[in-house]
Amino acid sequence: MALPPLHSIRVFESVARLGNMAAAAVELHVTTGAVSQQIKALQGSLGVELFEKRGRHLVLTDTGRALQQRVAGALGEIHEAVQAVQSSAKQAPEEIELTLSLPPVEGVTWLATPLFRFMEESRAVKLKVIKATQFNQVDWRKADVAVIYGTPPWPGFWWRLLHGIRMIPVCSPQFLRGSLAIRNAEDLARHRLLHEDNGAQWQHWLAEAGYSGTVASDVYFEDFGMVLQAARDGFGVALSDEIVSARDLDEGRLVQPLSLSVPAVHNYYCVCTEGKRERPEVMAFIDWLMSTTQ
């Protein structure tokens, strides 16, 4: 039996190690579709299934795991052999440099863990992260891809919905007890409403809750991280997302006093210029970003 093309073996090793075709595509500097075709061709030539889908991840089958162990060892030996040959004029492997613009970290905590894992495992990719709160603050001279909390259209740019969110009220556990306990929407009138927009999101939530009264006061913060910190410290009630505030809710720093959730006025989008979208490594990285929310 003829050996499969060595390129497909290299693609298999990358996907097996990273557990994600999009991440492998970024590392190999090709499109996700090209990676998928190589894996299909390899499985076809061998007549076996090497991966199975579990949630957002690809998992090796028993056959795939056995092949991966042999392939990883063989590629390691090849790498050592090449290094030995080039020892007199050693060259660093070509790096792919990408710059990602993100909102303040409090708004994208749901992305932090997979992003750090990607930077740790994708050895050929040098990822730089910069910060921008709004679309018009993104430095597109530097950014290849941006995660933006807002509402399109953005003329001259390509975008895709990354994470559609639903907003829930969150507050300090102290607001579940005592004379100021929050048991229904009317009880919110006795508390400060914390927000990072012009109040539209709270107005939307209150309307969906059927509340038509007025609130005693509200407080505006430009930084969503300050909104959540004020809520943790008992200075008012914020609107957040179950994913964004998952850790705070799990560890008891914040609680959800009322069950109603409503669609957010804005959502998180993955955005890049039309020109940057032509680069295979950029589209592969976008595919990986999208895979983190599926």
Q: Which residues of the chain have pLDDT under 70?
A: 1-2, 56, 81-94, 105-108, 216-217, 294
Contacts of 269 (CB under 8 A, 6+ apart): 147, 148, 149, 150, 152, 159, 160, 161, 162
Residue 169, pLDDT score: 96
Residue 258, pLDDT score: 94
| Helix and strand element counts for the chain (H, E) | 9, 12
Residue 47, pLDDT score: 86
Which CATH code of 3.30.530.20, 3.40.190.10, 3.20.20.140, 3.30.420.40 fits the domain covering 96-164+267-291? 3.40.190.10
Q: Name the CATH topology of 6-89.
A: Arc Repressor Mutant, subunit A (1.10.10)
Buried b (16+ CB within 10 A) or exposed e, 187-221: bbeebbbbbbbeeebbbbbbeebebeeebeeeeeb
Residue 82, pLDDT score: 67
Region(s) of the chain under CATH 1.10.10.10: 6-89
Q: What angle do CA 251, 255, 261 make, to 5 degrees?
A: 125
Query: Which residue type is seen at 244?
Result: V
CA distance 215 to 217: 6
Other beta carbons within 10 angstroms of residue 63's beta carbon come to: 14
| Per-residue pLDDT tens over the stretch 76-96 | 777 776 666 666 545 555 678
- If we measure between CA atoms, which residue out of 237, 189, 182, 194 comes closest to residue 212? 189
Residue 231, pLDDT score: 94
User: Phi and psi for 133 in degrees, rounded to 5?
Assistant: -80, -45
| Per-residue pLDDT tens over the stretch 1-53 | 567 777 888 888 888 888 888 888 888 888 888 888 888 988 888 888 988 88
Tokens 């990285």 belong to 285
User: Phi and psi for 97 in degrees, rounded to 5?
Assistant: -105, 125
User: Distances from the Cα of 205 to the Cαs of 48, 195, 250, in angstroms?
Assistant: 52, 12, 23
Q: Helix, strand, or coil here: 253? A: coil
Write out the two tokens for 211: 């509340």
Long-range contacts of 150-154 (CB under 8 A, 24+ apart): 150/266, 150/267, 150/269, 151/265, 151/266, 151/267, 152/269, 154/271
Query: Which residue type is seen at 199?
Result: G
Strands annotated E in 7-156:
51-54, 57-60, 96-102, 125-131, 145-150
Contact 83, 91 (CB under 8 A): no
Region(s) of the chain under CATH 3.40.190.10: 96-164+267-291, 166-263
Q: Helix, strand, or coil here: 243? A: coil
Residue 158, pLDDT score: 94
Write out the two tokens for 55: 């949630």
CA distance 136 to 157: 12
Number of alpha carbons in the 13 Å side-chain half-sphere of residue 262: 17
Enclosing H/E stretch for 237: strand 237-241
CATH 3.40.190.10 fits 166-263, yes or no: yes
Q: Is the pTM of this model over 0.95?
A: no
